[in-house]
Structure 1
Amino acid sequence: MAATPVTTAGLARVGLHVLLAALPLLAISAHVFGLIRMNWSAALLVIPLATSIVALSLFAPHPEDRVILHGFVWGIVACALYDVFRLDTVYMLGWWADFIPTMGTWIVGDASSHTAGAWVGYLWRYLGDGGGIGVTFFVGAAFLGLHHRPARQVVAASVAFAVFPVWAGLIATVWLAPRGQTMMFPLTPVTLTLSLIGHLIFGLIMGLGFVRTRSAHRYWPWTPVVGWFAAPTPDRESPVLEAPAEPTVRVARGPSRPAAPAPAPPVTSERPVVVPPPPLPAGHPSAPFPRQHLSGPMPVARATGSQPAVARTGSQPVAAPATGSQPVSAPRTGSHAVAGASTGSHALSGPSTGSTRTASATTTGSHRTATASARPSTPAEGTTLDPETWALWQRQLATTVKGRRTHRWR
């Protein structure tokens, strides 16, 4: 919100707040001096003006009402903490008398009603005296621009305000009024010291409250009246000591060279992309066998002795060599038969089901059975694979990450 110059209407509105804040203290002094009785000033001045200002703030609020409300609340808090010290010296130590209930009887107009006087007197003290002093200080500080000053200066100004004119005005009333010491309290070194300490506590708490809520002063609509209280400029701040500049050393350099381009960051991917190899041409030694029709059997040629058995699949022969006297099984697809050749007179051929193919051979004399897995890890040397196994290995090689030493079946 931009600050604007002080206007007459604004001064009149704030003046009503300050007048209401000062009336409770002035009413006490006027009663002690005998100018106007306190029950009359309370009934004719304080209560009607307070009601009007509360209604004005509720139905026609203004930005400065926020600052005034903060001052009212912090004045009550400071007065309560002041009374913690004062009541301790009154009712526990007995160093001086409590004149607040007596002041309450002045307001109610009945000197014999001490209970009602105590209630009304302390209500007047907190809402009228404490809240009124807080409003007066906050408004004056906002007009002077204290919210732009450091916290120490604000607290010092608040303590000074609590001593003069607040404490000084109280002591002047007690000392100058004809019946001041009789109606309030006698002036002794003890009472002077205790009352001064109490007002120092009051000023300290009120100053700390102002520092805590100084952000509310951004709602204050006017610029500070006194210019030397405005926001500090760099000229008013403490000088900043700068380190002396080091002597400059000039170094002769050769012709400038263009900077080498920064290397491009390596392109990394979370998962490698494997491109399958192109299909091999027909007739290539590593090309897959042409798929045969599964409805008919595969012709098998049997061999005896040491001659290998040859089985023809399509137009390409498949040789299943026999080493020594061990049987050799040739894998087949579907329902094709498998021929096993052995050295001897007994040879057994067994069917293979699904993906597991087993060939059983019986040797002469001991009838020992050998079982071989249909999916060997590596093909036997010199053996040509059937189409299904060859296609399976091709898919395995195409989907295996490069750099692996072994290939696992998926």
Structure 2
Amino acid sequence: MTNDSLAAKPHYPLLDGLRGVAAIIVVTFHLTEPLGTGHLDILVNHGYLAVDFFFLLSGFVIGYAYDDRWQTMTIGTFFKRRIERLQPMVVLGMLLGALGFYFTDSTIWPLIHTVPLWKLLLVLLIGCTILPVPLSLDIRGWQEMHPLNSVGWSLFFEYLANILYALGIRKFSNTALGILVLLAAVALAQLAITSPAGDVSGGWTLNAEQVRVGITRTMYPFFAGLLLSRIAKPTRLKHALLGCSLLLALVLYMPRLGGAERVWLNGVYEAVAIILIFPLIVYLGASGVVQTQAEGRICKFLGQLSYPLYLVHYPLVYFYVAWISNHKGVTLAQAWPYASVILAGGIALAYASLKWYDEPVRRWLQTKLG
């Protein structure tokens, strides 16, 4: 989900570009989701799998950036670097969610105007730590572990994966890591194929069932990415940015499979996508070469934009969801102008957040934390 500094190492600019493509697709998923009636008819039906792609990218980047540095780096240094990279945008995302909380007036959130200010501030404080909010503090009514900014749940599991890596899994041999990845793949396939909805969607509620979903969705892709960073021998491919972007978009925009009668078919599709196709895309992206300066600038822009866009877009989406819920029967033709404004506004807000907040704060933290 993020891109660490890979100073003194060759960089993978196309992976930055793919991260940005996935982030934009996530926004389009969240903009089409409220227009559907359920799992079966969302226009961007598999957009939520971008999170699993982010986890795999993160594992790859973490392994590439840190695996060979542990003889000169402490666990404390590793965590400081991760906090410097992840936490500033987490805080801003939660603040934006809090600022808009009372203004997203809708019948789907009847709790909002009964929430006292002290409870909102408490949820904000907890959210800024990325620790999950207990259900007793569910101030929106959607059973989200981060009701001010829904996407925070994936950052919680991202931190968990980083902790597991730093405290022990980084020491695994490739064989041991391969066994862990294989077991995690089996667990992921079992979840996808046997879940009542026939998909892996979930992980954002603080209860046993949903935490299991979140852990299962994190363990395979993150540590498969780590293993891939160790064993892959990238080649040199032309046109990889376009090809990988199209393949990623095809996977995420694929319509629902199997219908209501054979939901397991969709689970098979999602398991294959996460376990096989996403590692292939990352490998091809790592093998790709930037062919023009324009392509390099595109990759850089998309990479810089991806994490801020992921963290700031959902507070805007809350307003959009409220508008749709207050105008029953809204069609895609009626919604797309508003959705386009949210998408463009999210991109502009993300870029402004990057330049005026994220980068300056990270520089300040680096001087303070060392």
Q: TM-score range by the shorter chain?
A: under 0.3
Q: TM-score, normalised by structure 2?
A: 0.21
Higher helix share: 2
- Report the structure number with the largest CA radius of gyration: 1
**What TM-score comes out, normalization by structure 1 length?**
0.19
